[in-house]
Structure 1
Amino acid sequence: MAIQKLFSVLFLHLALAFLLAELTNAGGLQLGFYRRACPDAELIVHETLHRYISRDPTLAAPLLRMYFHDCFIRGCDASVLLNTTSSNNQTEKLAAPNLTLRGFDFIDKVKSLLEAACPAVVSCADIVALVARDAVVATGGPFWRVPTGRRDGTISRSSEALNNIPPPTSNFTNLQRLFANQGLDLKDLVLLSGAHTIGVAHCSSFSNRLYNFTGVGDQDPALDSEYAANLKARKCRSLSDNTTIVEMDPGSFRTFDLSYYSLLLKRRGLFQSDSALTTNSATLTFVNQLLQGPLQNFFGEFANSMEKMGRVNVKTGTTGEIRKHCAFVNS
């Protein structure tokens, strides 16, 4: 009886261990997915990004933005990387929200290095996820462990990108809807918007707030008047300026910190979608909580939301493929 009881206890422990493993690997993603098939995969990504960022620090923000724009369409499946090969279907790259994306050549470089080390093993989708994490770290932001095992999608449509990527002109209702479509809540909305603490934006993304907010040549009253005047005088001098760039987080646009949220409370969020975070009591409360807490609280919460976004609608197992070249589906 004692032996039988011992076996029962052991069986229970094993069952719990397997259950825990299943929960940990929910969605088919696992920490250290390439541990055996390509043990240096994450190191290759990290070292390559470090070399590039040391030469061009401005690349970090576009690489992070690329990850967002990928994950909001059919999950994080690297569909944003696909080139158009047929006049019958324009890919996400050609959608208006993605025309200012850059860093595709960097992703191609990482992929070529991984293909040389471990042919047909590491997905482009996982490369984009790992690069986004390392780009944040390179700007002084948080590190988090990225579960891997994503596979690459084979479908990419510009219309889906246009309809699902939150535009900078979004009001709160639109933001809430588009984030909810990805299984992301209001807390995620505030945290992931915090990515605007690094990088730049083209005047065309917000110049309507300066010159033609409601279509009658007016200025957005939600934008601080002094800030608006400075933008008009020194940066975006006309509604038609499509080339000038402006720091998203002036004075701190290469450092991952809390100053973006401080600017929101001063009515100096650059996009209408930034300003929208202060128009809802729940999101405004959370912005204040972030500012009242230590920087590490923001880092931890941001990392959690990034991992959550990275798990939504991913392709794993036998779904999708491992592309040989990130810009093209396998023939």
Structure 2
Amino acid sequence: MSVHALASPLLTTLFCFFFSFYFVLASDTTLSNGGGYKSSSSLASTTTNTTSLSNQLSIDFYSKSCPNLEQLVGSVTSQRFKEAPVTGPATIRLFFHDCFVEGCDASVLIEAKPRARRLPEKSAEDNRNLAVEAFDVVKKAKGAVEAKCPGVVSCADILAVAARDFVHLAGGPYYQVKKGRRDGKISRATRVKPNLPRANSTVADLLTLFASKGLTQRDLVALSGAHTIGFSHCDQFLPRLYNYANTQKPDPRIDPRLLKALRMSCPARGGNADVVAPFDVKTPFEFDHAYYGNLEGGLGLLETDQGLYADGRTKGVVVEMGRDKEGFFKAFVEGMERMGSIGVKTGRKGEVRRDCSRHVKVKGVKVS
């Protein structure tokens, strides 16, 4: 990994973690050899019927109106992946945040208007740390598509294709993306918090939330596998390091070596708010199934990660996917297709934005 491959602020904060981590493990090879990992070849919405919504989408939706769509988006995503691989997990996360609030309709991309009474999703507290690289790559991809197919392809479809591209570019499965989503006409910050998981959500909370979106227990475990790449800021897991469940002690499930490394990078007080740690301490830039083996070894970063192995309802699926890379890939693709069908808008229920950050202006019609 070259220095140029990472944006400089992230490079600095990542170095802080990796230096701490490998300093702690310098004389201990247990973790690097597997740590128990065995490789192998009140919710705001009601339950969503993703199957029926998926049937409204099709792989060849733009076959006549924009036949080179995937190549146009792909040229942008591949270049950004070379320049800044952190764009990959950031875009996948952006897709998740979009789909779970209002459905997969690019409502998360809308920017606040000056002096607006209602703030859009992007301004919600839970979305303020969404990486700018993700918004930027969608904007660039939209520009490339608009230059060839003006006013045809929705921002929602571009985000879905870009997320798939980054999964594949990082070593994950390639899959066909169904298209035909319209961009949403509503984006409200108040709808974000009830529809996204918290870093300390219980498995019961997660199962309830995912079920409300038409997703299964298996989808929860498979889609959590997206944490095989990507990073999280210290504030998302700090309680696990110092005051788990108000005990004034760390979460006993954390591997002691990981705990020591994380504490070196993330002090209880006065730390650098920009410091991040990888979800997958082994292969943070490679889309593989090591994430699940990490959970078996107490190396989950967030409480929601480690909880999947601790809870009997999901533990078996974690173990299964940790042993079977291809099985994980298959389940992940199925989960992404179902998630990509949540709350989609088609026809007049949505719009096709020229600028992904702004609603289409229609005379006599208000959007919010």
Confirm or deny a common fold (TM above 0.5).
yes
Structure 1 residues not aligned, in runs of 5+: 1-22
CA distance in 2 between partners of 1:239 and 1:205 (Å): 14
Instruction: State whether structure 2 residue 301 is matched by structure 1 residue 270.
Output: yes
Percent of paired sites with the same residue: 38
CA distance in 2 between partners of 1:281 and 1:229 (Å): 28
- Name the CA shift for 1:193/1:90 in 2 (closer, same or farther; >3 Å): same
Instruction: State whether structure 2 residue 171 is matched by structure 1 residue 140.
Output: yes
Displacement of 1:26? 4.8
Partner residue in 2 for 1:150: 181
- Give the alignment partner of residue 156 of structure 2, picking from 125, 133, 142: 125
Give the TM-score, by structure 1 length.
Answer: 0.89
Displacement of 1:239? 4.4
- Give the alignment partner of residue 69 of structure 1, picking from 97, 100, 103: 97
Matched residue count = 307
Residues 61-210 of structure 1 mapped to structure 2, 5 A cutoff: 61-85=89-113, 86-102=115-131, 103-210=134-241
Shifted more, 247-256 versus 190-199: the winner is 247-256
1:286-315 CA distances to partner (integer Å, 9 max, x unpaired)? Answer: 11111222x222111111110111112111
For the 8 Å contact 1:29–1:147, the answer to whether it is kept is yes
Give 2:204's aligned amino acid.
T
- Name the CA shift for 1:88/1:131 in 2 (closer, same or farther; >3 Å): same
Structure 2 residues not aligned, in runs of 5+: 1-50, 362-368
- Name the CA shift for 1:312/1:25 in 2 (closer, same or farther; >3 Å): closer
CA RMSD of superposed structures (Å): 1.6
Give the TM-score, by structure 2 length.
Answer: 0.80
CA distance in 2 between partners of 1:223 and 1:263 (Å): 11
Instruction: State whether structure 2 residue 65 is matched by structure 1 residue 40.
Output: no
Displacement of 1:116? 1.3
Larger RCO of the pair (alpha carbons < 8 Å, separation 6+)? 2
- Name the CA shift for 1:278/1:166 in 2 (closer, same or farther; >3 Å): same
- Name the CA shift for 1:281/1:214 in 2 (closer, same or farther; >3 Å): closer
Partner residue in 2 for 1:237: 267
1:198-246 CA distances to partner (integer Å, 9 max, x unpaired)? Answer: 011100110111122233532122222332122112x112245322111
Shifted more, 295-304 versus 35-44: the winner is 295-304
Partner residue in 1 for 2:341: 311
Displacement of 1:186? 0.6
CA distance in 1 between partners of 2:270 and 2:95 (Å): 29
- Name the CA shift for 1:219/1:58 in 2 (closer, same or farther; >3 Å): same
1:201 partner SS: strand
For the 8 Å contact 1:211–1:239, the answer to whether it is kept is no
1:264 partner SS: helix
Higher gyration radius (CA): 1
- Name the CA shift for 1:175/1:24 in 2 (closer, same or farther; >3 Å): closer
CA distance in 1 between partners of 2:247 and 2:339 (Å): 38
1:157-213 CA distances to partner (integer Å, 9 max, x unpaired)? Answer: 112111111121111111111111111111000000000000111001101111222
Instruction: State whether structure 2 residue 365 is matched by structure 1 residue 329.
Output: no
CA distance in 1 between partners of 2:321 and 2:243 (Å): 33
CA distance in 2 between partners of 1:190 and 1:289 (Å): 10
For the 8 Å contact 1:28–1:317, the answer to whether it is kept is no
CA distance in 2 between partners of 1:269 and 1:26 (Å): 32
Displacement of 1:255? 0.1
